[in-house]
A and B are shown apart, each in its own frame.
Chain A
């Protein structure tokens, strides 16, 4: 289960809508072992694409060092799908490399007409498991 504040959910949506039609991406860090998303870190999509996202490699180094200094880990790794459903794609699954993270997907596709599709998944060893989202 992902337990997350409304404020952080809103922050993810704001980022996804701002970057549409490109995929938005980012991390929410939290204290190691807490499973509590706390610190919102929107990232630049270095791929600048409506169908692919990638953190810039130097940005990635910076945030991992920062999290290390703060005894944090990535609790949520989020990104948006801009024309498909909010479910991990084969590419998402292939590149998921944080086994403890909650992979959050939102969809900004036009057909949703404002309806919110916000879903969370665990991706471990290539296996995707959807989990409930509890908004505090």
Chain B
């Protein structure tokens, strides 16, 4: 059951990711990216991270993708003036180098032990553990993160504004 579910979600993720980078129109790329993020949320849930899966759907498939589609629709006049794609030597070289990276990483990761996931305790699975960790051990990164988000909000407004 778990095996079937894993291969199902992994296939959806990989196929939609391939479609993201091959579609000419950015709108269809964005919609494929939503599919990819939803399937990834399923993978996260399989790994026992329910809270992360929910956040993935809300934040990525919801908020960030809406932002993306807004921007695409703001700056794209019509689908007719999409530039033709050209295959150059540099692109082929880049793609081959990336596949080489995949092979190297795969060989590096493929070592024993090949074991099933250990039985997870209640503390690992509950989001409450993450919440209490966030406000005790990780309180400093948490606060820095809130400052970072504030800077990002102000920065995005300043960048996108016409005249300051």
Q: Do A and B bind each other?
A: no
